[in-house]
Structure 1
Amino acid sequence: MSSLAERHQYIINKLKKEGNVNVFDLCSELEVSSVTIRKDLKLLEDKDLLYRTHGGATLSNPYTVDRSVNEKEKIKSGEKTVIGEAAAQLIQPNDCILIASGTTVASLAKSIQPVGSLTVITAALNVALELIHHPDIEVIQLGGMLRKSSSSVTGLYGEKMLEDFSCSKLFLGVDGIDLEFGLTTTNMMEAQLNRKMIKASQKTIVLADSTKFGKRGFGKICGLEEIEEIITDAGVSNHMVETLTSMGIQVTIV
């Protein structure tokens, strides 16, 4: 398969099936050099058929932008509700958990019905306001500078507070999940606070609808090797699920 048209069709078909392609894999499969593949990807990008990334390409724009919480909560709202309900089932009696920020973890907060007492430490103001009405939930609100776009705090005050806690689970919302770059958010300071949350937790569970896969935000939170489970919806590709599972990450599809 050496003709230009055949290579391009192969690349597009593989992208439609898997969502992304890797230069090294394409070289092996098409038996051409990396220089040839990179030229092919450049030509296809010029035709608006794909987006080039480091070491490969993807079908959709991998870069996310910061949006207000009011705008984000309208995206995949039904899926986020079901993801939140599934995550709530993981909370144990007398648990102590961390909840980060984002519209998907806000759906978790709405689904929590604790058995026994529950302690929740959160950066998100909307999560705290949702849980404050439960008599059996003790809410610890992290301090810091309030981000209006996410209704959550960032900064050194919250990071310092986390040094005094050890929680069983962190429920983490993200803006992007990329197989190479890891987990990201659109804000650097929020990414830093999320890293501190991971250190303060025994297990990290990512709540993300399927639109977050293959995306990258500005601030890197961590590599995929630092998380244990992802809860998402059926829109995620089989290739993505298989790759994450092979890395030892539990993928729960609801």
Structure 2
Amino acid sequence: MLNITERHQHILTKLQAEGSVTVLDLCRELNVSSVTIRKDLKLLEDKNLLFRTHGGGTLHNPYTVDRPVNEKEKIRSAEKTRIAIAGASLIEPDDCIIIASGTTVQALAKHIHPVSSLTVVTAALNVALELIRHPEIEVIQLGGLLRKSSSSVTGPYSEKILGDLSCNKLFLGVDGIDIEFGLTTTNAMEAHLNRKMIETAQKTIVLADSSKFGKRGFGRICGLEDVEQVITDSGISEHTVKTLQGMGIAVTIV
């Protein structure tokens, strides 16, 4: 059996290779109890060598904070543009789609160039303003409580409208993607509206740059079993790609 120093070295080596570790895997690999592994992870976190998560640990701070949309749109803008172009290529003639909120889906709206009729349901004011210049697009703007930080609406009015609709695709932006915890955003009301959007759409497509993986926001949207496709950039780890694909999720890397 390995001593504590050897166990810690094994954990840190695995973290460097895969970006995250789970208690279950470490118990099996090191032949020790979950209590021992959790103590090891706490000691390593106390030394600022990792961040503990539900059921494991990660190299990166898993908690994300709310930022104004005009600040967020400047972050990783090149990656967001490539992701947006790939997302727009999935839109087909006569589709009825939902576009949620966030700077990545705002970039999506900028790259939608319809050749025939398209119906878009959106919670985001900035998305609606991008799309109203296209005569081929019918925009249904959801109503409700306006979140100034995201320029989008939340609340029961939005959810009630969605309850009367059925759409082909949902293009969803998120603040965090955790393999175990699922998709999250920084606002609980927005997370609830996003869940309603998932129920309304036949297919959920997540648009998220690679920095969102391993992060968690305050509000949980859903588990990854509710997602059909993820579009991201080449910064995503190979381990994460294989994990997503093993869950039956199509992964598009731009």
1: CA distance between counterparts of 2:121 and 2:45?
A: 44
2: CA distance between counterparts of 1:118 and 1:24?
A: 47
1:84 is the counterpart of 2:96: no
State how 1:61-210 maps to structure 2 within 5 Å: 61-210=61-210
Instruction: Report the Cα offset of residue 234 of structure 1.
Output: 0.5
**What SS class does the counterpart of residue 172 from structure 1 fall into?**
strand
2: CA distance between counterparts of 1:143 and 1:35?
A: 49
Q: Bigger CA drift: 105-114 or 70-79? A: 70-79
Deviations 1:160-187 (A, max 9, x none): 0111111100000001111111111110
1: CA distance between counterparts of 2:167 and 2:35?
A: 49
1:145–1:155 Cα contact (<8 Å) kept: yes
2: CA distance between counterparts of 1:205 and 1:24?
A: 30
**What SS class does the counterpart of residue 203 from structure 1 fall into?**
strand
1: CA distance between counterparts of 2:237 and 2:106?
A: 25
Deviations 1:192-211 (A, max 9, x none): 11111111111000000001
1:94–1:115 Cα contact (<8 Å) kept: no
2: CA distance between counterparts of 1:141 and 1:123?
A: 6
Q: Number of paired residues?
A: 254
RMSD: 0.9
1: CA distance between counterparts of 2:236 and 2:29?
A: 25
2: CA distance between counterparts of 1:163 and 1:3?
A: 57
Q: Please, which runs of 5 or more residues in structure 1 have no aligned partner? A: none
**What SS class does the counterpart of residue 109 from structure 2 fall into?**
helix
State how 1:211-222 maps to structure 2 within 5 Å: 211-222=211-222
Equivalent residue letter for 2:166: S
Equivalent residue letter for 1:24: L
1: CA distance between counterparts of 2:71 and 2:246?
A: 34
Equivalent residue letter for 2:184: T
Equivalent residue letter for 1:23: V
Q: So what's the TM-score if we normalise by structure 1?
A: 0.98
Q: Please, which runs of 5 or more residues in structure 2 have no aligned partner? A: none
1:109–1:131 Cα contact (<8 Å) kept: yes
2: CA distance between counterparts of 1:34 and 1:145?
A: 44
